[in-house]
Amino acid sequence: MPVLPDPIYRPPVGFFGGHLQTIVPNLFRFVGGVEYRRERIATPDDDFLDLDWSERESENLAILCHGLEGNSTRPYMLGMARELGRQGWDVLAWNFRGCGGEPNRQLCFYHSGATEDLERVIAHVLAVERYRTVTLIGFSLGGNVVLKYLGERGEVDARISSAVAISVPCDLRDAAEQMARLENWLYMRRFLRHLRGKIEVKSRQFPGRVNAEGFGKIRDFRSFDDRYTAPLHGFEDAEDYWRKCSARFFLEGIAIPTLLINARNDPFLGEACYPIAEVEANQEVFLEMPEQGGHVGFSQWGRASWTERRAADFLAERCALGEGIRR
């Protein structure tokens, strides 16, 4: 599908530049009005996933996937849950392994290409046979998981009707190099501080198999992925992980209407994370690249962010082409 014309997103007065548009909504936004019901499901490898439900007895469900070191209570997750709830959707915000408030049991945890757990969540939802329409929505790392899942599987269950992916590092190598730049040291340090906590837990769970000693010398994702992500999840090294898990290489296989939104001033994304050629080769994938927005930012005064409203509009369009919103 040809790249869509640049949509107009106008940040609030004073929200200038990608860094401010990233930091303020992610650290200082408060979202109320969302109540979750937690459910824990088992995985085939004797682990578990924590699912948080916001329900309105709808026959339409949105499954939300959070970003790196996020969870179901991040402002962007709550904001999307609230906006879709206002539109009559049920929402399932699931937590990646080790992100729901309790360490997971197995040696592995999660990564940008771990689509098996998303598949487990989807299978759990579809087995209930309650929902006639299911959409997938992913943010940042979660967006990469959604796009890779759809691309590697091609044809999916007919109930999975659409997807939205926001601020996606769809070329992991390119994004890692971008994050290693000096201007992004604050984000990198924050991510590594959270990841260090995960590794220290794993080192206590699996002494001799995970070693947290010397973690302080890690300064970027290449070093972290070489030392931890790759060996813990069956990859040769960071390059092998990035090559096999970057959603950019799976876009051609997506077979349902999918909207990808990456702001041009996103400080986390390099040029390869704007996959224009790949999108133009697939009639089902739509790419929007607003000039402003930052990383999972897109603040607006009022209840919803610009991407929350844009996602709701896109899903409404998909439903209008089908049978409409079912309640």
> For the chain, what are the domain ranges?
18-171+247-321, 173-245
pLDDT of residue 327: 33
Q: Locate tokens 């603040």: which residue?
A: 299
Candidate list 117, 226, 295, 299, residue with the active-site label: 295
Residue of 51, 43, 52 lying closest to 105 (CA atoms): 43
Q: Locate tokens 């302080």: which residue?
A: 216
Active site residue 124: no
How many helices and strands in the chain, by DSSP H and E?
A: 11, 8
Candidate list 112, 266, 299, 305, residue with the active-site label: 266
Q: 189 in helix, strand or coil?
A: helix
Residue of 165, 170, 216, 171 lying closest to 195 (CA atoms): 216
Q: Locate tokens 């990198």: which residue?
A: 188
pLDDT of residue 326: 37
Which residue(s) pair with 137 in the sheet?
64, 164
Superfamily of domain 18-171+247-321: Alpha/Beta hydrolase fold, catalytic domain (3.40.50.1820)
DSSP state letter for 283 = T
Q: Locate tokens 């960071």: which residue?
A: 238
- Which residues lie below 8 Å from residue 158, measured CB to CB, with a gap of 6+? none
Candidate list 140, 162, 167, 305, residue with the active-site label: 140
Give a three-class secondary structure readout of 215-230: HHHCCCHHHHHHHHHH
CB atoms within 10 A of CB 304: 19
CB atoms within 10 A of CB 46: 8
pLDDT of residue 318: 76
Q: 319 in helix, strand or coil?
A: helix
pLDDT of residue 85: 96
Helix-helix angle 172-179:238-245, to 10 degrees: 130
Helix-helix angle 306-321:75-86, to 10 degrees: 40
**What is the distance between the alpha carbons of residues 318 and 315, in angstroms, rounded to a whole number?**
5
**What is the distance between the alpha carbons of residues 144 and 111, in angstroms, rounded to a whole number?**
10
Residue of 76, 72, 33 lying closest to 56 (CA atoms): 33
Contact 295, 265 (CB under 8 A): no
Strands (E), 43-190: 48-54, 60-65, 90-95, 133-139, 160-166
Which residue ranges of the chain lie beneath pLDDT 50?
A: 1, 323-327
- Which residues lie below 8 Å from residue 302, measured CB to CB, with a gap of 6+? none
Active site residue 194: no
Active site residue 295: yes
Contact 144, 275 (CB under 8 A): no
pLDDT of residue 14: 86
pLDDT of residue 302: 74
